[in-house]
Amino acid sequence: MKSTMRMRAILLTAVAGMTLSVAACGSDEPEDTSTGGSTTTEAEETTEAEETTEAEETTEAEAEPAGENFGPGCADVPTDGEGSFEGMTDDPVATAASNNPLLTTLVTAVGAADLVDTLNDLPEATVFAPANSAFEAIPTADLDALLADTEALTGVLTYHVLPMQLSPEELAGTYTTANGAELTIEGSGEDFTVGDGGATVVCGNVQTANATVYVIDGVLSPPA
């Protein structure tokens, strides 16, 4: 009887020890965090994907061209070299114009008025650039007199400049020029007239490093 009771006590002690051992082993097992870990990873992947998409969209927007040139006068712009559409994008507006054979008289006038650096240093501008044919329509004596009068010439040339960069979609409207006087542009699409004299845009949306240029077929006269 005593031996039986002793054996039972040993068994109970062994079972109790096994129970404690199993419990201890169970408590050492790592907590299952698979769900939490998966959620964190998914969130990180989503954030990374969104950031990548935003970066790609920004790069695509920066790479987007400013738009097509338009107008019959664009056929006379060189197809290559510094005076071409692509070549002019690298230079500020006065320098770009000096490389374009359509604008040689304008370049002479800008030089006579000592406005080369002024135009090149503008942070942004819209320039209505009279083609050579526009100056040819002015009687020679009148043009010579204008080129010799720096103050009057400066007033005329700055009337062709807006201190903002306008795309064709933004062009129609009335704006204050660098001259200080107002200038009205009418039209839409690829058909625009500029000023009271109705000068026509013959080659539009020409890009330079700091300006959008619209070549016109007339010389604008600022209001008296």
95 and 198 share one domain:
yes
Helix %, strand %, coil % for the chain, to 5? 50, 15, 30
Q: What is the largest CA-CA distance in the chain?
A: 144
Q: Is residue 3 part of a domain?
A: yes
Distance set, CA 131 to CA 47, 60, 62, 79, 220 (Å): 53, 34, 31, 17, 12
52 and 99 share one domain:
no
Q: Domain of 128: which CATH number?
A: 2.30.180.10
Q: Is residue 223 part of a domain?
A: no
Q: Is residue 135 part of a domain?
A: yes
- Whether the predicted pLDDT of 62 surpasses 50: no
Q: Which domain holds residue 203?
A: 72-216
35 and 23 share one domain:
no
Q: What is the dihedral of CA 190, 194, 200, 204, to 10 degrees?
A: -40
95 and 145 share one domain:
yes
102 and 10 share one domain:
no
202 and 150 share one domain:
yes
Look at residue 165 in the predicted model and tell me its pLDDT.
97
163 and 83 share one domain:
yes
pLDDT digits (tens, 9 = 90+) for 79-127: 999 999 999 999 999 999 999 999 999 999 999 999 999 999 999 999 9
Locate 139 and state its tokens. 């009687």
8 and 86 share one domain:
no
47 and 152 share one domain:
no
pTM of the predicted structure, to 2 decimals: 0.71
Look at residue 217 in the predicted model and tell me its pLDDT.
97
Q: Is residue 140 part of a domain?
A: yes
23 and 98 share one domain:
no
- Lowest mean per-residue pLDDT among 51-55, 62-66, 73-77, 88-92: 62-66
- What is the percentage of the chain residues whose pLDDT exceeds 90? 68
Q: Is residue 35 part of a domain?
A: yes
Instruction: Report the domain count for the chain.
Output: 3
Q: Is residue 172 part of a domain?
A: yes
45 and 133 share one domain:
no
89 and 3 share one domain:
no
Look at residue 224 in the predicted model and tell me its pLDDT.
81
- Among candidate residues 44, 64, 84, the one where a domain is terminated: 64
pLDDT digits (tens, 9 = 90+) for 157-201: 999 999 999 999 999 999 999 999 999 999 999 999 999 988 999
- Burial class of residue 37, CB neighbours in 10 A (0-12, 13-18, 19+): exposed
* DSSP string computed for 104-143: HHHHHHHHHTT-HHHHHT-SSEEEEEE-HHHHHTS-HHHH
